[in-house]
C-alpha cells in the first residue's frame, strides 16, 4: 500500500472519530499517534531476537517515519493556519 494512501486512510479514520475538526487538530493527533507507534516499535525491536521479525519491525518503523515526515510537511504547509 502506498504511503499517501495509508496516510489518507488514517486521516479518514480520525475524521470518523473526531467529526469536523480543523486540519491542524487532526494533524496534531496523527503526529502524536505516529510518535507513540514509533516508540513502541523501537522498544519491541530492541527486545526481538528473530531476524525475520526484526526485518518486519524495521519496515513498519520506516513506514511510520515516512508518515511522520509527510505529516510534518503538511503541517508546514498549514503553518499560517495552525498555532
Q: How many domains does the chain have?
A: 1
In-domain check, residue 82:
no
Cα 13 to Cα 8, 19, 75, distances in angstroms: 9, 10, 19
Alpha helices for the chain (secondary structure H): 3-18, 23-47, 51-77
Cβ(62)–Cβ(4) under 8 Å? no
In-domain check, residue 83:
no
In-domain check, residue 27:
yes
Rounded to an integer, the average pLDDT of 36-45 is 93
pLDDT band at 26, cuts 50/70/90?
Answer: confident
CA distance 71 to 65: 10
In-domain check, residue 68:
yes
pLDDT at 37 over 70: yes
Domain ranges, residue 13? 3-77
pLDDT band at 1, cuts 50/70/90?
Answer: very low
Amino acid at each position: 500500500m502506498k504511503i499517501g494512501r495509508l496516510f489518507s486512510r488514517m486521516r479518514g479514520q480520525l475524521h470518523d472519530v473526531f467529526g469536523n475538526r480543523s486540519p491542524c487538530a487532526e494533524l496534531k493527533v496523527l503526529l502524536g499517534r505516529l510518535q507513540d507507534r514509533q516508540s513502541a516499535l523501537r522498544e519491541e525491536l530492541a527486545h526481538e531476537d528473530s531476524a525475520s521479525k526484526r526485518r518486519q519491525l524495521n519496515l513498519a518503523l520506516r513506514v511510520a517515519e515516512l508518515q511522520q515526515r509527510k505529516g510534518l510537511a503538511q503541517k508546514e504547509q498549514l503553518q499560517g493556519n495552525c498555532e
